[in-house]
Structure formats: structure tokens, C-alpha cells
Amino acid sequence: MRILVFNAGSSSLKIGVFDTGGEAGAQVVQRLKGGFGRFRDGGCTVHLQAADRSEDFTAPYADLAAATAAVPGLLADWGITGIEGIGHRIVHGGEAHDGPATLDPETLAGIEALTPLAPLHIPANLNVVRLARAVWPDLPQVGVFDTAFHLDNPPRVTTYAVPEAWREAGLRRYGFHGTSHQYVAERAAQAMEQPLGDLRLISVHLGNGASVCAINLGQSLESSMGLTPLEGLVMGTRSGDIDPGAFGYLQRELGLSVEQIEHDLYYESGLKGLTGSADMRDVEDRAAAGDAQAQLAINLYAYRVRKYIGGYAAAMGGVDGVIFTGGIGENSASMRRRICDGLQFFGLRLDHDRNLAPDLENYAAPHIQAYGSKVAVIVTETAEQLQIAREVAAHLARPMPAARPIPIAVSGRHVHLSAETLAALFGEGYVLTEAKPLRQPGNWVAKERVTLVGPKGTLENVAILGPLRPRTQIEVSRTDSFTLGIEAPVRDSGHLEGTPEIRLVGPAGQLDTDGLIVAARHIHINPADAEAMGLEDRQLVRVRIGTGDRALTFARTLVRVQPNAFTEMHIDTDEGNAAGIGRDFVGQVAAGVEAFVGG
């Protein structure tokens, strides 16, 4: 499928044409010859890049409308035909969009309502969408949102500690650069030859805009940007983190309005505010010549990034890889070195020669860590447009599934024991007694029970599920974890690295073991039902339970396609209570990756 991608900034327009090859979304999307261009307001340089040549020339395009209208002629000049869909980068999707969306009038109206959250970018995004709809009225237009990758960050990450009325008005952390962080994480996992879902990665996107993202087992955990792209790192012209009390102070001391302060934090701060230049290359040259302000800016810039990396490593309980991307991340060996120096305490060490000249041709993702480093360090070119094309193609190719009723099971606290743990709790040679079969074939509830003991409280009479597993896993609800006094992470079953320890007590002994989790919501489904519903193994779907004002949407529900599985959705006790779900609740999955469940 051939996809035309528009990436509109407040005063620039980048385009790309990509071909997904045979299976949409399954293969790495390849850039087509001549598929890249950049237009700037006022008639600045257009850069066309091909596999075998590139050209730069001055374009007489006065605005985004003229630039967009010129694209068909540009594609014709380069012999590009057969466009089947158009993708648009949309900076902000609010709370409604955790994946690509067809840009129909209703969706566009919802995006326009988000303009106060991104007043510079959303009008430009929507302007190009409307222009493209006029030029290509018969082609599907799909939006891919910068915020989507981060939308399901946990409440402890997204919530500001502010009055309730402010939070109800929409004040929360969103995070940005999601398309870039998602792409480089997938690319790094390929380079590390490991499944993305098994890795703890920190993506460092350093450009004129800059952010760090903690990607825990394939999912965004946190981004350094917040409600707006202003929070977090020092950037080209943006301040990054600043005490909110500065607003009142500057108003009182300098007589500045909120609008003036906000403008200067966006456009007159960051590297520009410290040195007069927003270009890191210029700042590094001046620092090397002895400019004290440039030296301070570089130290501050690197320190802020290093501090976030350390914080995110702690938040994930460790880190397997750090990824550098963006113009500065890709091109500044000295900045990468400054950031990584001081991170040796968790096993990260750079190789001097590999760091100096990483080969980034053809989307390469070279390792630059020293041999023996416990943490991989990878440099790769970000490819936001490629990722947008990939997501648009997958969105357009996804079949419309048939509606099928599915039961929803509320999972109470329980444990899966290993043979070693069983022996420690019940004695050598003990065999569990099957008391009741479960709906998943081969699974059952044992007659025996155990006790969980935490630093704050105890949970007694906890069920044991069979059969035995290679590794002990303890599943509780979020409320249970507060009762115990231990922070249990939300994890897919079997992903137990870095999980906290809990004490298990049985009739013959006790054992302290890791493996304590809150099980991520998921759907067990057999291959026949999955095919009928258009679902794939490891796919993440949205599930809406109930109807009308009382409907509750569960995002990022993992699909597990298993032979002979009994098709049902599993949620924990807290989620069941929130949705008002009791035993034997039955719903149905309907069209698209959005699943609608009601009972």
C-alpha cells in the first residue's frame, strides 16, 4: 500500500511517500525514490531526497496552502503515482485517540476543540488536512497522534497534584514525540535481537524539541513532556522544567503578563535564552572557543537529560538500552558522551570509537556501548513519517470484525506456584488437590490456600491455580497491593523481571519470592474466534463496557490467541468493581480494534 504522509509544523511542511510492500504493517516500510520534501513559509529551501540523488532549490511557496497545492505536481515530476491513502501527523489527540483515526468531520471537530492545548500546531495540522481533502477528495485521510503512544501512562504519571476543578478541566500530563519514541524503540529492539515486550528502554529524542521516554516492556511508561511540549528537557528555544511559581514572580517583579511569560518560555528560552543561539552546533563551537555561557548551556543541557535517564531507570527498576535520536542525538558525539558519563553506576559504558562515527545509513541502528557494558546504547535516525505510514497502512488494511459475544471474567487474587515454592510451603513431594476446573482448558483451582504477608498487611485464604509453572507468579489487585503495602507493577503474565518480593506462607513453611504483579487486562481467544473478530495475537484493543453515560473504556487490552482457548476477557477485581461487573457478565466485541462490550 502506497501512503503519502504530511507532517505539518507551525510554519513548515514535510512530505513523504512510502510503500508498505506486501503485508501492510508487517514489513519495514521502505522510502520511495523522491518521497521527501520540505517547504517553509516565505519561500525558503525545499529539499528533495532520493535513493540516488538530492536537490535543493528555492521554492516560491508563500504559505502552507500553496505548498500543499504544489504536492501533486511535485509527485508527478518525480514519477510517483498510485497513492492509496494519506496520513497526517496530528500533534495532540487529547484523551480520545490512542491510535490512528480516520479524519472524518466529527473527528476533525474533536481535534479542533483541542486547540488550546497546542495553539501553534493544531491549526496548522488541520489546515493541511482540509487542503489535502480538497486535493484528494476520494482518498482516505488518517491522523496519527503524537500523544497516542503515551495516552495510557498510569495515573501516577499523568496526574498533577492540583485542585480537582483544574484536573476536571483537563489539566494532566500527555507527553509528545510519541511517534518518534515508538519507532526508535521498535528499531532498537530489532538491533538488540530481542522482543520489544521484554525490554526496558529509554528513548532520548534530542532536537530543537527534546524529550525522554521510558518504554517499559513495549509500552510508554512516562515522557518528560507534560500538558504541553514545554515541560521536561532544555530545548532549542523552550525552557523545559521551571518552577510554576515563576509566573507569579515575573508578573510581580517585571510586570509581565501570562501571555508574555508563556511566549518567552516557548520562543526565547532554552539554548537561545542561555546563549542567544538555538543551534547546538553553534553553541558547541562557541563553548570550544571559551564562551562561558555556551559552556554552561551545554552542561545544563546534558545534566537535565542525564537526570531524566537516571530517574526513568529507577522508575522501571532497571534499563536494558538507551536510544539516542533526533538531530542532536544522532549527530553530536560529544553530547552523547557528556550525557552518558556518570551513568556507569548502572552498568552503562560508551565505546569511544563507536560513539565518534556511528553509521546511520538506511535506518541503521548501530550499538555504541563498550564491550561488556550491561546496558546497550544505540543511535538511530528517527523516522516519524515512516512510522506514520506504517500505522496508516495497518489502519486502512484492518478488516471489519464480526460482532461476537464474549464473557468477562473478574479475576480475584491468586498465585501460580512453581514446584520449588510448592515444596517450601507444603512440604517435599506434596501434590495439589484439584477442586474446580476453570474455563480455560487445563487450568483449575486447587483446594489448598496460602497467605500473603507484606510490610503493611496480610491477605489470607489466597487461591492457588494449577497446574504448576516454571516460576511463581502472584496476582493481586491494585487495592490488594495497598493492603500489603507493596507497589505491584501492572504486567502481562510471565513478565516478572524486576517485580517486588512478597512473603508466601503455607502450612509447612514460608518463602520470600518475587513475581508480585497486577495482571494487565487481556482477552483469551481461540484462533477461530480471533479470525472471525479480526483480532491478532498480541494486538492491543480498546474495550468499552456498558452503554451511554455509564460506559467505561478499558484501553490497551492485550489479545492472546491460544489453541483451544475459551474466549473471554479477564480483568481484575478493581476494574470489575469500577465497571459494575459481577459474575457471568457477557459482552461483545464489535468493529475495528475498538471493542464494545456491554451486558
Distance CA 428, CA 405 (A): 45
> How many whole angstroms from its chain centre is CA 178?
6
Render 300-335 in DSSP notation, one character per residue.
HHHHHHHHHHHHHHHHHTS-SEEEEEHHHHHH-HHH
Contact 557, 541 (CB under 8 A): yes
Cell digits of residue 447? 483446594
The set of residues, in sequence order, having a beta carbon less than 8 Å from that of 72 and lying 6+ positions away, is 135
Contact 390, 370 (CB under 8 A): no
Render 337-362 in DSSP notation, one character per residue.
HHHHTT-GGGT--B-HHHHH----GG
Catalytic residue list contains 146:
yes
User: If we measure between CA atoms, which residue out of 438, 444, 435 comes closest to residue 409?
Assistant: 438
3-state helix, strand, coil in the chain (%, to 5): 35, 30, 40
Strands (E), 146-231: 200-206, 210-216, 219-223
Contact 70, 133 (CB under 8 A): no
- Number of C-beta neighbours around residue 526 at 10 A: 16
Phi, psi of 311 (to 5 degrees): -65, -40
Contact 60, 43 (CB under 8 A): yes
Distance CA 516, CA 279 (A): 47
Phi, psi of 375 (to 5 degrees): -120, 130
Cell digits of residue 502? 512478597
Amino acid present at 560: R
- Tally the residues of the chain: 599
> How many whole angstroms from its chain centre is CA 364?
21
Distance CA 390, CA 263 (A): 35
Distance CA 591, CA 532 (A): 11
Long-range CB contacts (within 8 A, 24+) of 369-375: 373/347, 373/348, 373/349, 374/346, 374/347, 374/348, 375/319, 375/320, 375/321, 375/322, 375/343, 375/346, 375/347, 375/348
Distance CA 394, CA 2 (A): 12
User: If we measure between CA atoms, which residue out of 400, 383, 330, 396 comes closest to residue 89?
Assistant: 383
Cell digits of residue 425? 510451603
State the catalytic residue, choosing from 52, 63, 98, 146.
146
Cell digits of residue 285? 563551537
Q: Under the phi-then-psi rule, with left for phi > 0, alpha for psi from -120 to 50, and beta for the rest, what region is 399?
A: beta
The residues annotated with a catalytic role in the active site are: 146
